[in-house]
Amino acid sequence: MIKDNLHGLEIDERCTHIAVFALALAVWTYPSAEGYRQLPNSRIACSGIAPNAKIQDWLNLAGKDQRLREGMERLYELFKEAPILGSLIDPGIAVEDNLLEAHFYELLPLLKKALVTEKKDFEQIEMRIAALGIADAVEILGGLYHLIITNVPYLARGKQSVSLQDFCAKHYKEAKNDLANVFLDRLLKTSEKAGTTALVLPQNWLFLTSYKKLRKRLLKTKCWNIVVKLGTGAFDTISGEVVNVALIAISNTTTTLDYAFTGIDATASRSAYLKADCLLNGELRTVVQYDQSMNQEALVTISKIPIISTTLGQFCSILQGSSTGDEPRFVRYLWEFNSSNNRWKRFLSAPDEGVYSGRNNVWDWSDDCCELSQSSAARIQGLDAIKKRGFFVSGSKRITASIYKGEHYSKVIATVLPFNPLDELAIWAFLESKVFESEVRKLDQKILVTPGVFARVPFDLGYWKEIAAMKYPEGIPEPYSDDPTQWIFHGHPAFCNKPLQVALARLLDYSWPAESDSDIELSIEANNLISSLPLIEIISDDGGIVCIPSVRGEDTATERLRVLLGAAFGDQWSAAKEKDLIASTGSTAKDLDEWLRNDFFEQHCKLFHHRPFIWHIWDGRKRDGFHALVNYHKLAEGEGKGRKLLESLTYSYLGEWIARQKDGLKRGEDGAEARLIAAEELQKRLISILEGEPPFDIFVRWKPIEKQPLGWEPDINDGVRLNIRPFMASDIPGGRRGAGVLRWKPNISWTKDRGKEPPRPLEQFPWFWKDGNFVGDRVNDVHITNEEKRRARKEVRGSGSED
């Protein structure tokens, strides 16, 4: 059995040794072994070792037979790439396309001899064993088998080496986009007549257009046995959504018109254990193979392929959105700006579940001739939908839908614009149903679904009109949201899902776009709530700084927040209500003061996607230290106003606190000395931020040196990610480490952004250059001294350019 029937290949030498050992151990411990302790030669070999002999030595083994010599040369050239190609090496391919060259089986005796003698230093026994191993690998690679079972390697074409890409394109053109499918094609050619190949493969090849030719060929020339959709979570050691797989068995025999294969759908099972149970006990479905080959895209599905009489695309236009080519530069969250910044336009992203969602982004689109619209890296599309009405759907991971009101939108979504207004409600009922997602996934399971797929989804207008009439008797729902991350949020703390966060934002004088932008459509309910906000706004602090302890004679943040919450909740406000609101955040704080000091900022960062617009600045002391809440919009305000606010925080608010601790120290007040040390350390750091020397500088990769901020002079348009960096600097010598001067450390990275910059001059953009060559990496972890910036500004002024 082992000697004649069991074969194995592995590109890694260590894994080959482990496999041989495991096989030996299994034989020795098998119940019927009866003391048997000697294994026959195993047929497990390493396919990743290249020959070390000179090519002339190989050719000499063939003598003067030109046919043998040419065959040996082809094999030698092929096995030079063994460490890269491994089991993809096909000795048959190396010789079969030229009849003048020797067939592999004629070459095999010479090949064994060449490998055994390739090293004449026989003291290096390991090398000789390796040579013999290659000979075994060649024999296995050139064989035909009745059953092949393996989990093939997965590697998309973009991540393959150039030599591997070239090999796959030459020999496996239809399957080249992923190494897994190349192996499928390779192994099917290694199958005996009527032999079977059973593999675990990524599911996407069953529906991606790039594999259409491969599917058609295999559906017409092979006999499919079973397709099991395992989905994600099929492997205990791999979590998340990365590996979405299917188990497929295909036999090397021709099919008939009525032949049907079996299918099982185990994607709903969430663990490997449950998927295994589904394979044993799940519903078996039969699918006629011929029908699969004849559908428009040769899509392989285990569901019955519907007879499409009408499709969604017959009732609406479906347009894909835009790609900026550089999202960190051109896309922000709406809360990174105040409502008066007209440069940034609303930009739809993938909606969550809910009638109105996907409304938390803006993009840098001041007008139709802006820099983004002219960018060669961007792909601006779908503009025909702007200012029109309809719906939009996400083709990313989950298929979700929302109502469209004419905004710009991302490439991960597509707008659905009905041709006939009378069909709108039926189309909406279909899009927001689970049926729509199910029908889409029958056609396409890749992460980003294109508009063409949505258009092919079968759609029964009459049926969905009946559903819509029952579900939406008053028509399309009007725009309303209780979510403070959406631009249609009304801004009222008492009618939302995050009342404490909204109340504190209002206390710091933040308002939402819907409160002031008349272009944003809202429901009557939302407009009524906005109308009641002036009663709350009179309590807001327009100075931009609210200290948690009492400083400069102002009330504590807790006292001021309670007054605002009382105005918002009216008769509902009480001490019990305060505790309920704190508990609803997941906090265990006993009161608002403890929540503000310890929990607010972390929750704020997480809610607003780690781009906070209220910054909690502190001195490191939880219970009795200096804590200030600062409105980022005012801190980053132009014309020097933001710098003045930071100076006020540093010298006025914190200065008064420091003076108080010094006075307490003179009076022998308990803890005054420790508070003084912490406060003075905080003041040093704030002064360092004002000065802006590394590591407390701001760096903006798309701005030349002369336009880089000099000290604390942030441009709010650069976004929170870049402007917050000085406040998170923690490597000042002798300073307190951690999240800089912020109470909690937002999850912000300044590593390289995706993509490449267009050519930029070395003098102004040296960070895009390396060793005199333009590299264009979008780096962010760069520090520039004030002297360098001043010198660059001086040079620009001297050249007559505008500063």
Residues 36-65 have pLDDT tens digits of: 556 666 778 777 777 766 777 767 766 777
- Rounded Cα distance, 326 and 331, in Å: 8
Task: Return the pLDDT at 99.
Answer: 47
Q: Which of 471, 490, 515 is the last residue of a domain?
A: 471
Half-sphere exposure of 184 (CA within 13 A, CB side): 31
Q: Is the peptide bond before 418 cis (omega within 30 degrees of 0)?
A: no
**Is residue 307 included in any domain, yes or no?**
no
**Is residue 733 included in any domain, yes or no?**
no
Task: Return the pLDDT at 737.
Answer: 44
Side by side, which strands form the sheet with 627-631? 545-547, 627-631, 614-618
pLDDT band at 352 (very low <50, low <70, confident <90, very high): confident
Classify residue 46 as left (phi > 0), alpha (psi -120 to 50) or beta. beta
Q: Round the average pLDDT of the chain to a whole number and report it.
A: 87
Residue 779, pLDDT above cutoff 80: yes
Q: Of 249, 90, 231, which is closest to residue 184 (Cα–Cα)?
A: 249
Residues 511 and 449 in one domain: no
- Rounded Cα distance, 26 and 33, in Å: 10
Residues 461 and 319 in one domain: yes
Residues 502 and 451 in one domain: no
Task: Return the pLDDT at 803.
Answer: 42
Q: Fill in the amino acid letter for 378.
A: A
Task: Return the pLDDT at 446.
Answer: 77
Residues 462 and 482 in one domain: no
Residues 537 and 463 in one domain: no
CA dihedral over 371, 374, 379, 383, signed as positive or negative: positive
Contact, 86 vs 11, CB < 8 A? yes
Q: What percent of the chain has pLDDT over 70?
A: 89
Residue 507, pLDDT above cutoff 90: yes
- Rounded Cα distance, 249 and 270, in Å: 23
Q: Which of 471, 495, 517 is the last residue of a domain?
A: 471
Residues 496 and 568 in one domain: yes
Average pLDDT of span 14-34 = 75
Question: What domain range is 464 assigned to?
Answer: 312-471
Task: Return the pLDDT at 122.
Answer: 45
> Of the ranges 67-71, 102-106, 676-680, 723-727, which one carries the lowest mean pLDDT score?
102-106
CB neighbour burial string for 596-625, b if at least 16 within 10 angstroms, e if fewer: bbbbbbbbbbebbbbbbbbbbbbbbbeeeb
Task: Return the pLDDT at 372.
Answer: 93
Tokens describing residue 700? 């903006």
- Rounded Cα distance, 707 and 537, in Å: 37
Q: What percent of the chain has pLDDT over 90?
A: 56
Residue 6, pLDDT above cutoff 60: yes
Residue with more model confidence, 623 or 540 = 623
Task: Return the pLDDT at 96.
Answer: 56
Residues 448 and 517 in one domain: no
pLDDT band at 125 (very low <50, low <70, confident <90, very high): very low
Report how many domains make up the chain: 3
Residues 487 and 454 in one domain: no
Q: Which of 598, 614, 633 is the last residue of a domain?
A: 598
Average pLDDT of span 327-343 = 92
Contact, 116 vs 132, CB < 8 A? yes
**Is residue 618 included in any domain, yes or no?**
no
- Rounded Cα distance, 274 and 255, in Å: 32
CA dihedral over 755, 760, 765, 771, signed as positive or negative: positive
Residue 734, pLDDT above cutoff 50: no
pLDDT in tens, 76-95: 777 778 888 888 888 776 65
Residues 379 and 394 in one domain: yes
The structure's pTM equals 0.67
**Is residue 42 included in any domain, yes or no?**
yes
Output phi, psi for 336, to 5 deg. Answer: -75, -5
- Rounded Cα distance, 681 and 675, in Å: 10
- Rounded Cα distance, 451 and 465, in Å: 23
- Rounded Cα distance, 599 and 582, in Å: 10
**Is residue 642 included in any domain, yes or no?**
no
Residues 364 and 452 in one domain: yes
Output phi, psi for 711, to 5 deg. Answer: 75, -155
**Is residue 562 included in any domain, yes or no?**
yes
**Is residue 517 included in any domain, yes or no?**
yes
**Is residue 536 included in any domain, yes or no?**
yes
pLDDT band at 155 (very low <50, low <70, confident <90, very high): confident
Residues 131 and 29 in one domain: yes
Residue 255, pLDDT above cutoff 50: yes
**Distances 754 to 326, 377, 757, 776 between C-alpha atoms, Å:** 7, 12, 10, 11
Residues 454 and 485 in one domain: no
Average pLDDT of span 632-646 = 96
Side by side, which strands form the sheet with 316-320? 316-320, 413-418, 390-394, 401-404
